[in-house]
DNA sequence: AGGCTAATGTCAGTCGCTGACATGAGACAA
DNA sequence: TTGTCTCATGTCAGCGACTGACATTAGCCT
């Protein structure tokens, strides 16, 4: 029962007073159990085929209790995504201020992919995250929500970029424009990866590098060359410039 | 079955047999009434504040009947969007084959905006469309669905572009990449327009022109100039190249 | 130990949506 | 016209995601 571990707040608990509190631990355990059970069910049985009652029953609590821990069924599905996105924002802010915006974005994503494993480890193994990602991409209603969340995130990113460059997001559209274009490419990357057969993190990273490198040439004039022959980690030229 | 079901479809009815059919007309009228009533309610009262029962009651039919005409509450909200998107695809296909991909996309959107009024007129006045667009952008669940639909549409567009250039969409990522980047910019445009105070079609068109012209410079290196001073229809330089 | 509060369970109700069944209003032939 | 025949509609029952209200219970504090 003791098991210590204390805080371990999964989300963003400001933890004003480090009170292990016997009661708190129980809540934390329940939340974790619900989260884990839900993800497991979503991945194996499918999101739509999983009812909230199923999740609650798997943990041994009432449906009402589930809704006291999560605002809705969807939120559980995005719990890990939340962490990774927060992690990305940290990576982005850590970029040196002299990097051009697009380059900063590029590096931040790659850094992020390189350290997702550790970022997610507190909740579940990396594989669970990757599988859930695929589930999201293949479940229409989740995909829709995912896109809206991405859009909101992009707004946030644009703000960071604008600050880096000392611009006003509302006066200069460029931050939002780059982020939107960049986000679009990432979306394609994620989609292609999730429908492919290589479900490893390395595969995703390689695809990201490849597509980010190609977007520059893709935007230019007309395409007459067959398909730029490069594959993996070749640090080829970046977007136009 | 007889009657060939034929007509019914208000959207793209090839109308194989011009049979007025007394019964058919009634169905058509009901569908129109439901659509109009729904849009009216969504716009005035808000999407979430409008129940399907409200819509059905406003038309004088049962809730069950509503669901016999529309697969769900959301579909009604996107009925006009469907028409406009189909219209865009037509515009795109009408573009001369020698235009570079990005330019074709650009012209297609602008052509589309120039003729939306006529395209939508068969269902409702333009204003209703614009207002519904804003409602979609400001209603989280609708926005999410809208983004997913856009993504699906982009897949379609990428296919058209690939065909224009004689490429294989699955072998060459460039079609999907340009479309994604382009779509991202349009998304920003739509969002900015819908949150601004100028809800005219002209305003939307102007914004589109402006942002499409800026995305090229925005992607390049770092931004040190304050905010490229151009405004409306200036046919400025395209994306880099 | 006893009281206070917070976590949980139970119940009822709303809303989107669906299958099943009965009925009535058009289409069509005799 | 009459009589089928079918197709649109209404009614009813039920599921699943939620939510508010109330009762119960378990941790916390003195």
Tokens of B1: 């079955």
Position A9 in a domain: no
Domain hosting A62: range is 22-76
Contact B151, B184 (CB under 8 A): no
Residue among B31, B27, B87 at smallest CA distance from B56: B31
| pLDDT value for B202 | 94
Given CB atoms, is B5 within the 8 Å cutoff of chain A? no
| pLDDT value for B177 | 92
Question: Quick check: B226 pLDDT over 90?
Answer: no
Residue that the structure tokens 């009657």 belong to: B3
Task: Give the nearest partner residue to B173 out of A145, A176, A211, using CB atoms.
Answer: A211
Q: What count of Cα atoms within 13 Å lies in the side-chain half-sphere of residue B231? A: 2
- pLDDT, tens only, A171-204: 999 999 999 989 999 999 999 999 989 989 999 9
Q: Radius of gyration of chain A from Cα atoms?
A: 20
Per-residue CA distances from A188 to A6, A147, A195, B173 (Å):
41, 12, 11, 9
Per-residue CA distances from B37 to A60, B8, B168 (Å):
45, 18, 44
The verdict on B44 and B90 lying in the same domain is no
Given CB atoms, is A97 within the 8 Å cutoff of chain B? no
What is the dihedral sign for C-alpha A106, A107, A110, A116? negative
The verdict on B103 and B186 lying in the same domain is yes
A165 and B222 within 8 Å at the Cβ level: the answer is yes
Tokens of B144: 């999410």
Position A236 in a domain: no
Position B10 in a domain: no
| pLDDT value for A16 | 42
The verdict on A116 and A187 lying in the same domain is yes
| pLDDT value for B232 | 37
What is the dihedral sign for C-alpha B208, B214, B220, B222? negative
| pLDDT value for B235 | 38
Position A7 in a domain: no
- pLDDT, tens only, B111-122: 999 999 988 888
The verdict on B69 and B89 lying in the same domain is no
Question: Quick check: B70 pLDDT over 80?
Answer: yes
Question: Quick check: B150 pLDDT over 80?
Answer: yes
The verdict on B48 and B140 lying in the same domain is no
| pLDDT value for A33 | 97
The verdict on A26 and A109 lying in the same domain is no
The verdict on A31 and A94 lying in the same domain is no
DSSP annotation of A216 reads H
The verdict on B133 and B187 lying in the same domain is yes
Cα distance from N-terminal residue to C-terminal residue, chain A: 60
What is the dihedral sign for C-alpha B38, B41, B43, B48? negative
Tokens of B94: 């009408």
Burial (Cβ within 10 Å: 0-12, 13-18, ≥19) of residue A180: buried
Q: Which residue numbers in chain A have pLDDT < 50?
A: 1-18, 229-241
Task: Please name the nucleotide lying closest to B63, CA to C1'.
Answer: D10
- pLDDT, tens only, B24-40: 999 999 999 999 999 99
| pLDDT value for A110 | 96
Domain finish residue from B45, B73, B101: B73
Position B226 in a domain: no
Residues of B in contact with A182 (CB under 8 A): 184
Strand D contacting residues by CB (7 Å): A 21-24, 26, 50-53, 63-64, 67, 71-74; B 1-3, 23, 26-27, 30, 60-65, 68-69
Question: Quick check: B106 pLDDT over 50?
Answer: yes
CATH number at residue B165: 1.10.357.10
Position A8 in a domain: no
| pLDDT value for A215 | 83
Question: Quick check: B75 pLDDT over 50?
Answer: yes
Position B14 in a domain: no
CA B16 to chain A, closest CA, distance in angstroms equals 33
Burial (Cβ within 10 Å: 0-12, 13-18, ≥19) of residue A212: buried
Give residue B80's pLDDT band: very low, low, confident or very high (50, 70, 90): very high
| pLDDT value for A65 | 98
CATH number at residue A29: 1.10.10.60
Residues 182-241 (B) with a CB less than 8 A from some CB of A: 182-185, 187-188, 191-192, 210-211, 214-223, 226-227, 239-241
- Report the pLDDT averaged over residues B173-187: 93
Q: Radius of gyration of chain B from Cα atoms?
A: 20
- Report the pLDDT averaged over residues B65-90: 97
Q: How many CB atoms are located within 10 Å of the residue B8 CB?
A: 15
Contact A112, A208 (CB under 8 A): no
Given CB atoms, is B153 within the 8 Å cutoff of chain A? no
| pLDDT value for A216 | 77
- Structurally, how many domains does chain A consist of? 2
Query: DSSP letters along A130-198, please?
Result: HHHHHHHHHSHHHHHHHHHHHHHHHHHHHHHHHHHHT--TTT--HHHHHHHHHHHHHHHHHHHHHHSS-
Given CB atoms, is B174 within the 8 Å cutoff of chain A? yes
| pLDDT value for B227 | 52
Position A201 in a domain: yes
Question: Quick check: B154 pLDDT over 60?
Answer: yes
Give the H/E segment covering residue A56.
Answer: helix A52-59
The verdict on A55 and A147 lying in the same domain is no
Give residue B216's pLDDT band: very low, low, confident or very high (50, 70, 90): confident
- Return the SS3 of B74: helix
The verdict on A179 and A112 lying in the same domain is yes
B217 and A174 within 8 Å at the Cβ level: the answer is yes
The verdict on A136 and A201 lying in the same domain is yes
- pLDDT, tens only, A95-109: 999 999 999 999 999
The verdict on B58 and B161 lying in the same domain is no
């Amino acid at each position: 029962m003791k098991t210590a571990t204390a805080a371990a707040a999964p989300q963003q608990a400001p933890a004003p007073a480090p009170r292990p509190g016997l009661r708190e631990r129980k809540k934390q355990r329940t939340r974790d159990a619900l989260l884990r059970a839900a993800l497991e069910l979503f991945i194996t049985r499918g999101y739509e085929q999983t009812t909230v009652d199923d999740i609650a029953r798997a943990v041994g609590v009432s449906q009402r209790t589930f809704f006291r821990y999560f605002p809705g069924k969807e939120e559980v599905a995005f719990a890990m995504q939340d962490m990774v996105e927060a992690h990305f924002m940290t990576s982005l802010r850590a970029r040196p201020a002299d990097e051009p915006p697009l380059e900063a974005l590029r590096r931040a994503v790659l850094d992020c992919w390189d350290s997702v494993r550790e970022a997610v480890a507190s909740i579940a193994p990396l594989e669970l995250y990757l599988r859930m990602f695929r589930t999201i991409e293949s479940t229409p209603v989740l995909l829709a929500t995912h896109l809206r969340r991405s859009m909101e995130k992009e707004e946030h990113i644009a703000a960071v970029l604008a600050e880096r460059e000392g611009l006003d997001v509302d006066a200069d559209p460029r931050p939002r424009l780059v982020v939107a274009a960049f986000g679009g490419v990432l979306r394609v990357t994620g989609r292609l990866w999730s429908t492919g057969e290589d479900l490893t993190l390395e595969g995703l990273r390689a695809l990201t590098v490849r597509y980010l490198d190609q977007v520059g040439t893709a935007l230019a004039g007309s395409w007459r060359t067959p398909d730029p022959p490069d594959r993996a980690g070749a640090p080829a030229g970046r977007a136009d410039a």
